[in-house]
C-alpha cells in the first residue's frame, strides 16, 4: 500500500491527471518522484499482495491491502485471500488512459447492437464491476539493417525459346519495428489479447510500482522465446513487401524461398530487445452456472472485445416476429408446391447440420486451447492430455452402444433412399436429383459429424444434428415414394421443419457454449478491482 505523505490515506493512480491521488486530502504526486523506500532500493523486484479467489483458485497481484467484491475471472462475489510476495519488476508500463466511465460507455455503445444478449450483460450493476488489470506482455524490437541480397529472374522470348535470366538483387535496408507485443500470461487467452490489440507502445514508460495503485496486475509466466519467431515473421513480411515495391525491382520476379528461417537470414533480422511490459486492460466477467463470458476493453485505446451469449427467449421471439413478414412476402410472390417444400426443408436441414459441425469444431479448438500459444507452452503436453481425456471410452451401456450404432443406421437409411431413387418409377426427375445430392451431403456430414461430436465436451448429450438428419431422411423417403396425396408431403414437411428447429436450438446452445468459457478460464489468476 502506498500512503499519502500528508494524511496517511491510500494513494491511487488517477487516470485523468496521470498522477498519484489521495481521495482524502486531494494530494497529487508524481508517480516517479514518490516511491517506497524499500522499492526504491530494490530495482529488480517489488512488493505485492497476491490475492487468491477461493472459488476458482485464481490469483492476481496488487499493491493494495484489501480485496473484496467480485472476482474478475469467475464472476464470484467473494472475499479474496491474500499473501505477501516479491515479483520481478517489469521493464515498462503503459498507464491507463481510459477511465472506468469511458470504459463503460464504450462497452455500452457496443452492447446497444447486441439485441439478443442476456439482460445481465446490460445491467448497470453488472457493468459497474469492470476491473482495471495490468496484463503482462512481451514487447519485441526487431531490426533489418545492412545489405539484403535476394534472388530474382526475368524472362523474355527469343524466337521459339523462352530465355530466363537470373539475378541477385542488392539493396540496403534500415528498418526498425518497435513494440511488437504478445501477452506473456498463459492464463490470458491469446484470442482475447489479439481482439483488443494493438497498444500504442509510444505511450510506454519505465515501470514504477506506484502506477499500479488502485489496479491489479498479472505476472508473466510465458518465456519470451515463445513469440519471438512470430514477431520476426511480422517484421519480415513488412520489410519484404517494401523491398518488392522498390521501383528498380518491379520488372523482376522474385524466386526467394519464403521460409521464415531463410527470410530472417536474408533480411538480417535481429531482435534488439525482448522487454517485459504491463499493459492496461479493463476486465468484466459474466458467469452462468459453470461457464463464464468475458468483456475486455483496451485501457489505452478504448477498443472493446466481448463474448456475447444469446438469450434463447429473446432469439426465439425475434425469429418469430421476423418470420411473419417473410412469410407474407414469400406468399405474395412465390407459389411453393408440396414437393418443392420437401426439397427446401431438406436443403435447410443440411445447411443447419453443417453450421452445427462448424460450431463443434470451434468449441473443440477452444476447449483444448489449440490457438493459445502461451497456454500450450506453459502446459507442455496439454494437447496430448486433452486428446486422452476426450477419447476415453465410456462404460459399456445401452446409451453408448446406441450412439455407436446411430451413424451406421443413418448411413443405411440414406443408402436405401439412394437405391429407391435409382429404381423408382418415372426415372430421375429434377426433384429426385436434388434430393439425392442433399442425401449425399447428409451421408458425409453424418459420418464426419459423429466423429467431431465425440471429440467435444458435449459428448453424452443428444447430438443436435440428429434433428437435421431426421429431416433429410423423412423428406427423402416421401420424395422417392412419391405418394399421390399432398397430405404426405405436408406432413413430411412438418416433421422436417420440426427437426430443423431442434437442430437450430442446439446450434444456439453450442454458440453460447462457444462464447462462454470453462471455469476457471484462467487456471491460475483471479482478482477484483475497486478502481
pLDDT by residue for the chain (531 residues), tens only, comes to 678 888 878 888 899 998 988 888 888 888 888 765 545 444 677 777 777 776 666 677 777 665 555 666 776 665 566 666 677 888 899 999 999 999 999 999 988 888 888 888 888 888 888 888 899 999 999 999 999 888 888 888 888 888 888 888 888 999 999 888 998 887 788 888 888 988 988 888 998 888 888 888 887 888 888 889 889 999 998 998 888 888 888 888 888 666 778 888 888 999 988 999 999 999 888 877 777 888 899 999 999 998 888 888 888 888 888 878 877 887 777 666 777 777 888 888 888 888 888 877 777 777 777 777 776 776 664 333 333 333 323 333 333 444 445 555 555 655 555 555 555 545 556 677 777 777 777 777 776 666 666 666 555 567 777 788 888 888 877 877 777 787 888 788 888 888 888 888 888 888 887 887 776 544 444 333 434
Question: Are 347 and 426 part of one and the same domain?
Answer: yes
Whether residues 288 and 379 fall in one domain: no
- For 67, the enclosing helix (H) or strand (E) is none
Pair (328, 299) in one structural domain: no
Whether 114 maps to a domain, the answer reads no
**Residue 5 domain flag:** no
Q: Are residues 72 and 201 both part of a single domain?
A: no
Co-location of 71 and 195 in the same domain:
no
Compute the distance between CA of residue 471 and CA of residue 476 in angstroms, rounded to an integer: 8
Answer yes or no: is 107 within a domain.
no
Range of the domain at 41: 11-96
| Same domain assignment for residues 25 and 148 | no
Tell me how far apart the alpha carbons of residues 71 and 93 are, in angstroms, rounded to a whole number: 24
Domain end, chosen from 306, 333, 362, is at: 306
**DSSP secondary structure code for residue 259 in this structure:** -
User: Residue 111 domain-assigned?
Assistant: no
Whether residue 134 is found in the same domain as residue 66: no
Structural domain contains residue 424? yes
Say whether both 65 and 163 belong to one domain. Answer: no
Check whether residue 192 and residue 294 sit in a common domain: yes
- Which of 48, 81, 96 corresponds to the end of one domain? 96
Torsion angle (degrees, nearest 10) of CA 411, 414, 420, 423: -70
**Has residue 44 been placed in a domain?**
yes
pLDDT, position 456: 62
**Residue 300 shares a structural domain with residue 176:** yes
The reply to whether 200 falls in a domain is yes
Q: Which pLDDT score is estimated for 3?
A: 80
| Contacts of the segment 328-333: beta carbons below 8 A, 24+ positions apart | none
- Asked if residue 4 belongs to a domain, the reply is no
Domain match, 429 and 316 both = yes
Regarding whether 223 and 159 lie in a shared domain, the answer is yes
- Give the total number of structural domains in the chain: 3
Query: What torsion do the CA atoms of 365, 366, 369, 372 make, to the nearest 10 degrees?
Result: 100
Amino acid at each position: 500500500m502506498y500512503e499519502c505523505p500528508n494524511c496517511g490515506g491510500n494513494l491511487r493512480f488517477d487516470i485523468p491527471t496521470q498522477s498519484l491521488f489521495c481521495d482524502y486530502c486531494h494530494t497529487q504526486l508524481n508517480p516517479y518522484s514518490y516511491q517506497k523506500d524499500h522499492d526504491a532500493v530494490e530495482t529488480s523486484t517489488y512488493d505485492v499482495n497476491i490475492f487468491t479467489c477461493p472459488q476458482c483458485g485464481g490469483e492476481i497481484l496488487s499493491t493494495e491491502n484489501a480485496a473484496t467484491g467480485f472476482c474478475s475471472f469467475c464472476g464470484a462475489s467473494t472475499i479474496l485471500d491474500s499473501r505477501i510476495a516479491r515479483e520481478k519488476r517489469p521493464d515498462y508500463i503503459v498507464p491507463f488512459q481510459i477511465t472506468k466511465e469511458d470504459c463503460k460507455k464504450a462497452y455500452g455503445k457496443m452492447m446497444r447492437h447486441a439485441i439478443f444478449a442476456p439482460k445481465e450483460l446490460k445491467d448497470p450493476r453488472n457493468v459497474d464491476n469492470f476491473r482495471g488489470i495490468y496484463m503482462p506482455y512481451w514487447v519485441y524490437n526487431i531490426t533489418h539493417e545492412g545489405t539484403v541480397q535476394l534472388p530474382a529472374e526475368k524472362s523474355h522470348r527469343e524466337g521459339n525459346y523462352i530465355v530466363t535470366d537470373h539475378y541477385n538483387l542488392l539493396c540496403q535496408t534500415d528498418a526498425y519495428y518497435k513494440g511488437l507485443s504478445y501477452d506473456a500470461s498463459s492464463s490470458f487467452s491469446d484470442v482475447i489479447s489479439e481482439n483488443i490489440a494493438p497498444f500504442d507502445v509510444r505511450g510506454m514508460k519505465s515501470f514504477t510500482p506506484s502506477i499500479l495503485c488502485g489496479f491489479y496486475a498479472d505476472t508473466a509466466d510465458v518465456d519470451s522465446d515463445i513469440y519471438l519467431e512470430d514477431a520476426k515473421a511480422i517484421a519480415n513480411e513488412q520489410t519484404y513487401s517494401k523491398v518488392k515495391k522498390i521501383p528498380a525491382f518491379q520488372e523482376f520476379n522474385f524466386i526467394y524461398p519464403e521460409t521464415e528461417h531463410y527470410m530472417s537470414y536474408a533480411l538480417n533480422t535481429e531482435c534488439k530487445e525482448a522487454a517485459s511490459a504491463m499493459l492496461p486492460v479493463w476486465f468484466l466477467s459474466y458467469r452462468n452456472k459453470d461457464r463464464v463470458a468475458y468483456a475486455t476493453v483496451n485501457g489505452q485505446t478504448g477498443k472493446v472485445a466481448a463474448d456475447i451469449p444469446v438469450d434463447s427467449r429473446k432469439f426465439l421471439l425475434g425469429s418469430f416476429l421476423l418470420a411473419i413478414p417473410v412469410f407474407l412476402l414469400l406468399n405474395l410472390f412465390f407459389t411453393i408446391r408440396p414437393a418443392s417444400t420437401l426439397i427446401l426443408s431438406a436443403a435447410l436441414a443440411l445447411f443447419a447440420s453443417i453450421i452445427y459441425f462448424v460450431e463443434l469444431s470451434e468449441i473443440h479448438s477452444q476447449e483444448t486451447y489449440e490457438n493459445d500459444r502461451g497456454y500450450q507452452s506453459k502446459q507442455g503436453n496439454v494437447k496430448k492430455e486433452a486428446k486422452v481425456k476426450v477419447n476415453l471410452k465410456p462404460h459399456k451401456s445401452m446409451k453408448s452402444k446406441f450412439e455407436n450404432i446411430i451413424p451406421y443406421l443413418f448411413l443405411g437409411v440414406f443408402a436405401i433412399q439412394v437405391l429407391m431413387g435409382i429404381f423408382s418409377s418415372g426415372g430421375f426427375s429434377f426433384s429426385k436429383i436434388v434430393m439425392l445430392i442433399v442425401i449425399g451431403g447428409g451421408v458425409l456430414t453424418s459420418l464426419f459429424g459423429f466423429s467431431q461430436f465425440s471429440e467435444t465436451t458435449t459428448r453424452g448429450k443428444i447430438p443436435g444434428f440428429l434433428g437435421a438428419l431426421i429431416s433429410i431422411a423423412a423428406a427423402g423417403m416421401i420424395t422417392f415414394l412419391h405418394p399421390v396425396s399432398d397430405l404426405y408431403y405436408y406432413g413430411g414437411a412438418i416433421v422436417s421443419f420440426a427437426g430443423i428447429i431442434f437442430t437450430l436450438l442446439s446450434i444456439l446452445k453450442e454458440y453460447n457454449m462457444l462464447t462462454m468459457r470453462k471455469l476457471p478460464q484462467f487456471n491460475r489468476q483471479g482478482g477484483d478491482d475497486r478502481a
